[in-house]
Chains A and B, each alone.
Chain A
Amino acid sequence: MSSPSETPVAVHHPALRHHFDTMATQKDSSLLGMWVFIAQEIMFFGGMLAAYAIYRNVYYDAFAAGSHHLDVKLGTVNTAVLICSSLTMALGVHAAALGKRKATVLFLLLTIALGSVFLGIKVVEYADKFHHDLVPGPRYSAEGLHGPHGEALTADTARHSELFFALYFGLTGLHALHMIIGVPIIAIMAWKAGHGRFGPGYYTPVEVTGLYWHFVDIVWIFLFPLLYLIPHHA
């Protein structure tokens, strides 16, 4: 909404919203907004990670036994898949910045595909926990668990192992929820990119989505060692 009295903007981009003077300010604001949101997310996960830190310290054996049951191979594959999805996301942002429409769509779709693979593997892992009655609640049973060296669990350790799985489901569940929210957003970005909404002058939404996706990725980089590798650390 530029009036004649305003200093002329180089190009009045159609994506420039009425309350911003320049595209640069608008972009800076969106990026800062996402960084502030990420700060908020860190505190959100932080609350549950605090619970994790305390109980892992108090009930180390139970946590080691629970962690031992998790499938490190699947976890490692998933870590690799997610890191690759961050790469394709970064390439997508780069392509959008260069105005390469087809490459942008391709990389964003690849990101969605990798994200879906991650969620698929997560479903397989969750199904295993259901199968072994390791879902916290009335049906929980630690009978399938044993220590890192095959030893049987004491009654207390067996009882406390439920805490590990409560936090396992809580943390990975929240993480998966963030991915489930992220995938449709990336899909919208891909659709918009396909319709030529972005170019070198305006690709902020893709970049902001990218920031979010990288954050979700980094959360997993923390969760993987914290949950899967407890008995491996000594």
Chain B
Amino acid sequence: MSTHAGGVPEPYGRPGGPPPPERPTLPVREPVNYLNVSYGIKSWLLTVDHKRIALLYMFSITVMFAIGGIFATLIRLELLTPPGDMVQSETYNKLFTMHGVVMVFFFLIPSIPATLGNFLIPIMIGAKDLAFPRINLLSWYIYIAGAAFTMYAMIAGGVDTGWTFYVPYSTHYSNTHVIATGLGIFITGFSSILTGLNFIVTIHKMRAPGLTWWRLPLFVWAHYATSLIMILGTPVIAVTVLMVALENGLHLGIFDPALGGDPILFQHLFWFYSHPAVYIMILPAMGVISELVQGMSRKQIFGYSFIAISSLAIAMLGFLVWGHHMFVSGQSTYLGLVFSGISFLVAIPSAVKVFNWTATLYKGSISLDTPMLYALGFIGLFTIGGLTGLFLASLGLDVHLTDTYFIVAHFHYIMVGGAIMGYLGGLHYWWPKITGRLYPETWGRVSAIIVFFGFNLTFGPQFILGYLGMPRRYHYYPPEFQILHVMSSAGASILALGYLLPLVYFTWSMRYGPRASANPWDARGLEWEIPSPPPTENFVGQPVVTARTYEYGSEEGTTVV
């Protein structure tokens, strides 16, 4: 079952050769690439090309991001004034629940791996496709099926448990559609598992000759670590929501104290996945930032092996810290001490990355184009998010800060300030490769700056709100908190503008953007040695790698035979 169009002419001569000459504006026949090799809805819905599947994912998660964003907008609107005047408690509960569910499970978790990872990993390792192209397509259909279940639950009445589905909210006191939402998450989990499986096998078995582990791009290392979490964590949430659904439908008693069950067991099982899931969101973004920082400062990355190993260290430690979400749940204090200690350890590999990115900038030829602005934004915001994480990892302080806006601000600094900044930065960096078109640089910079300031205005005040004692998940509050809430809502509208701008100019550039050369950033890496957009099988010959990816100053990092 080959999607390769027979007899593809060599698009720009030998890949890896000199960049193609400036394209004349006269109408010339475009070289065959993965976008124009075939047309029609069927050629997309039945494709097994990893690049097309990446675009299918990109479209789907953008829709989900918009839906999650609408819920966020309604939340911020309600919080403009102290009384609960726009929605009632129950509606508000549903709003923040659906915001969390959609953003976490249907946007953040698939965001970078399923789009940029899907597109770039085979190219970066010199392969024609992922190891299992049909399973890759299947994972997208599974994702859509899961999203459909959750959408159904949303339209049919919504869920008001919070995205954490804590029992007994999700069992005894749930009169809404927990089962359908749970099934949606259960199903989507398998799409994540299949993506991780595909990545692991591909990275192990399909690297080009000469591409040893220590020559891999750091983006690939980050995705390898992410895939390990997807494989080992996701099944646990799957079986957990299955148990909640059964408990809900059949009253099994596993989490019901009346029958001897333990609600805390649910929290353990839930966070066993959901804490590592945070690293599913942030590790790929870290991989993107590693690429951006070296590409935009045109310098060999500092401390390559430390960054690579720190990804694996984060993945491993991530499985041992789940109890820091449960300091006030009544778990043993000694257990809390151990979880607190290990949580502090996670700061080490995270800081290793931040220091190495910063050191890479030293004496680099820094260009402040859009991807770099996002990368710098990421480093700053991730540092704030990470350091406030240490506040929450401290047993004593957490008792004061738990379930306040402080934690809301903290995880948004990691998920929005980290993961989404990484996603947008990577999207700008590889946009010319993906579409073969350049986006308008000025607008890109403007939007990056708007996102940065809008973000800080939205979530910065929430640290103060939380410290002063504003609990999360309330739709009314004492009037003295209003000024901070108004700042936050104002920031959210600026942030929304920052997110809408790329949507507009990316769409514009797909049709009207100037044509991109094979290597518009003059960066290193196999993906920059093939045409933009790449042909269906990526490489015409078999690339052979002779050095580490980031060899600036030397001739070429790779050769193609």
Contact = CB atoms under 8 A, between A and B. Distances in A.
Given A32-B204, A39-B231, A136-B250, A18 B4 contact: yes
A163 B537 CA distance: 54
A25 interface: yes
Nearest to B127: A19
A18 B204 contact: no
A54 B205 contact: no
Contacts of A62: 260
A25 B205 contact: yes
Contacts of B205: 25, 28-29, 32
Nearest to B8: A3
Interface stretch (A42-50, A80-88, A124-132, A180-188): A42-50
A40 B232 contact: yes
Contacts of B124: none
A82 B254 CA distance: 29
Contacts of B324: none
Nearest to B204: A32
Given A36-B231, A44-B235, A163-B260, 16 more contacts: A18-B3, A19-B133, A19-B537, A29-B131, A29-B201, A33-B198, A40-B232, A43-B232, A45-B239, A46-B235, A47-B235, A51-B265, A55-B254, A137-B251, A163-B252, A166-B252
B301 interface: no
Contacts, number: 134
Nearest to A24: B205
Contacts of B268: 50
Contacts of A3: 540
A201 B259 CA distance: 57
Nearest to B247: A166
B156 to A, nearest CB: 24
Interface in A141-175: 156, 159-160, 162-163, 166-167, 170, 174
B209 to A, nearest CB: 10
B345 interface: no
Interface of A: 1, 3, 5-7, 17-21, 25, 28-29, 32-33, 36-37, 39-41, 43-48, 50-51, 54-55, 58-59, 62, 136-138, 156, 159-160, 162-163, 166-167, 170, 174
A40 B235 contact: yes
A170 B246 CA distance: 9
5 contacts: A32-B201, A33-B197, A45-B239, A156-B260, A162-B260
A40 B239 contact: no
Contact of A162 (B1, B202, B253): B253
Contact of A43 (B2, B235, B243): B235
B129 A43 contact: no
B416 interface: no
A48 B236 CA distance: 8
| Chain B contact surface mostly | helix
A40 B542 CA distance: 33
Given A32-B201, A136-B252, A163-B253, A48 B238 contact: no
B239 A162 contact: no
A163 B246 CA distance: 13
Contacts of B272: 47
B487 to A, nearest CB: 42
A18 B3 CA distance: 8
Contact of A33 (B131, B246, B253): B131
B261 interface: yes
Nearest to A21: B542
Interface string B510-537: 0000000000000000000000000001
B239 A1 contact: no
B193 interface: yes
Shortest 7 CB-CB distances between A and B: which pairs? A44-B235, A47-B239, A19-B129, A166-B252, A19-B128, A160-B260, A43-B235
Given A6-B541, A28-B205, A40 B260 contact: no
Contacts of A39: 231-232
B128 A25 contact: no
A111 to B, nearest CB: 24
Greatest chain B CB density within 10 A among A43, A137, A156 is at: A43
A127 B201 CA distance: 42
Contact of A51 (B196, B197, B200, B243): B243
Nearest to A7: B542
B280 to A, nearest CB: 14
B239 A137 contact: no
Given A40-B232, A43-B232, A160-B259, A17 B1 contact: yes
Contacts of B197: 33, 36-37, 40
A160 B252 CA distance: 11
Nearest to B261: A163
Contacts of B236: 43-44, 46-47
Nearest to A33: B201
B361 interface: no
B439 to A, nearest CB: 30
A5 B8 CA distance: 14
Contacts of B135: 33
Contacts of B198: 33
Nearest to A174: B239
B233 interface: yes
Contacts of B262: 54
B447 to A, nearest CB: 36
B66 to A, nearest CB: 31
A54 B265 contact: yes
Nearest to B49: A19
Nearest to A138: B251
Contacts of A46: 235-236
A197 to B, nearest CB: 15
A18 B2 contact: yes
Contacts of B549: none
Nearest to A58: B260
Contacts of A17: 1-2, 133
A134 to B, nearest CB: 13
Contacts of A45: 239
A204 B233 CA distance: 28
Contacts of A170: 243, 246, 252, 254
Contacts of B250: 136-137
Contacts of A43: 231-236
Contacts of B202: 29
A136 B239 contact: no
A36 B2 CA distance: 26
Contact of A166 (B1, B254, B269): B254
